[in-house]
Amino acid sequence: MSETEIRATYPYHPYAWQQLFWQQLDELLVQQRLPHALLLSGAEGIGKERFAKAFVARLLCQSPRDGVACGQCKSCILLAAGTHPDCMWLTFLTDEKTGKTAKSIKVDQVRELVEFSAKSAQMGGWRVMVMTPAHLLNTQAANALLKTLEEPGRDTVLLLLSSQPLSLMPTLRSRCQQRALPVPTEAEALAWLAPQVGDENKARLLLALSRGAPLAALSLREAEWFSQREGLLRDLMQLAQQRQTALATAQRWHSLGADSLLTALLSLLDDLVVAASGAATVVKHRDLAPIIEGMSAHFQPAALLRFRQGLADRQRLLAGNVQGGALIDATFSDWVALTSR
Ligand SMILES: [Zn+2]
């Protein structure tokens, strides 16, 4: 890749909805009041990493313009190429063979970071460390980080990103200045999302199903379960009417994977519960509203809520390495037991 191509792929600017937040941090920087440890919190899919990338570039840039990295200097190019000597970006490891991601940030990774923080800057400016998602620091790793947070080197900034800041160890949290990144308004989110989706109604639907988080909405469009929602609803109805068996249905859904299936069912159940309680106008799966409203009349809200609770429990089990296929089988059996008559 040429330098121009490398630079073109790096996000030197924050998203439009992060502009005000950006200015606030920039003011701290200009006034030399930037804290050494910043915990940037905010929901999944609102652009925390993009913001961090742009801000790191702004910190390291040798000639920022209007409070934004120039994208031209040596520092900006090294950063875009991923070879800046004064920046360390830490996240969970991915196993190259299996493609599986680790469920935590390990102590060895933090030790590398501690070592890095003790060195002086090679390019004469800031040294920046980013850790994301910070709530995945295991206890040992968090402990290893504490000392660095207490005695940071000169011109050193540590950015911790997290969608679950309360899951961080309190001792760690108390040593950081916490700031919440903004969720865009619907208009801001649509202005960004609709041109990429090419359909404003679909963009609204995706946003509604993603709690207004634009990046989450964009990846939802590609999610396999999103295109299979209608088939899943119809299977639930068939099962409740005992027109097919739980086992045969479960086998058909194995290929989707337990994680996606549980996510899909939770999302649909939220709507079924709402519709069964008589509040059909706030159904989020707008395109499927007639089916959802029709179905909801057949079920007791209490039974739907119990099934929903079971889904949430299974999601937790899945995080703990329980076998996915068995969870899918149990999920459909559970639905039959709660709804068929
Ligand atoms: Zn620059």
Q: What is the mean pLDDT of residues 235-249?
A: 95
Instruction: Kindly give the distance from the C-alpha atom of residue 68 to the centroid of ligand 1, in angstroms, as a whole number.
Output: 8
Q: Exposure pattern of 231-270 as b/e (b: 16+ CB <10 Å)? A: ebbebbbebbeeeeebeebbeebeebbbebbbbbbebbbb
Residues 171 and 260 occupy one common structural domain: no
- For 59, the token pair is 């910190």
Tell me the CATH number at 235: 1.20.272
Q: What is the mean pLDDT of residues 189-205?
A: 97
Residues 61 and 202 occupy one common structural domain: no
pTM of the model: 0.88
Instruction: Kindly give the distance from the C-alpha atom of residue 77 to the centroid of ligand 1, in angstroms, as a whole number.
Output: 8
Residues 147 and 289 occupy one common structural domain: no
Specify the pLDDT at position 341: 61
Instruction: Kindly give the distance from the C-alpha atom of residue 53 to the centroid of ligand 1, in angstroms, as a whole number.
Output: 13
Residues 306 and 207 occupy one common structural domain: no
Q: Is the pLDDT of residue 23 over 80?
A: yes
Q: Is the pLDDT of residue 60 over 90?
A: yes
Instruction: Kindly give the distance from the C-alpha atom of residue 18 to the centroid of ligand 1, in angstroms, as a whole number.
Output: 20
Residues 88 and 170 occupy one common structural domain: yes
Specify the pLDDT at position 153: 76
> Quick count: other Cβ atoms within 10 Å of Cβ 334?
16
Tell me the CATH number at 172: 3.40.50.300
Residues 75 and 104 occupy one common structural domain: yes
Nearest to 167 by CA among 94, 260, 102, 105: 105
Instruction: Kindly give the distance from the C-alpha atom of residue 50 to the centroid of ligand 1, in angstroms, as a whole number.
Output: 17
Specify the pLDDT at position 101: 75
Residues 121 and 235 occupy one common structural domain: no
Predicted confidence band at 97 (pLDDT cuts at 50, 70, 90)?
A: confident
End position of a domain, from candidates 117, 151, 180: 180
Q: Is the pLDDT of residue 319 over 80?
A: no
Specify the pLDDT at position 124: 87
Residues 77 and 191 occupy one common structural domain: no
Q: Is the pLDDT of residue 166 over 90?
A: yes
In the chain, the number of structural domains is 3
Instruction: Kindly give the distance from the C-alpha atom of residue 67 to the centroid of ligand 1, in angstroms, as a whole number.
Output: 11
Residues 79 and 209 occupy one common structural domain: no
Specify the pLDDT at position 280: 63
Report the share of the chain in percent with pLDDT over 90.
Answer: 77
Instruction: Kindly give the distance from the C-alpha atom of residue 45 to the centroid of ligand 1, in angstroms, as a whole number.
Output: 27
Q: Which of these ranges, 17-26, 80-89, 232-241, 277-286, has the smallest mean pLDDT?
A: 277-286
Residues 164 and 264 occupy one common structural domain: no
Residues 112 and 74 occupy one common structural domain: yes
Residues 169 and 314 occupy one common structural domain: no
Structural domain harbouring 228: 224-339
Specify the pLDDT at position 119: 86
End position of a domain, from candidates 180, 208, 239: 180
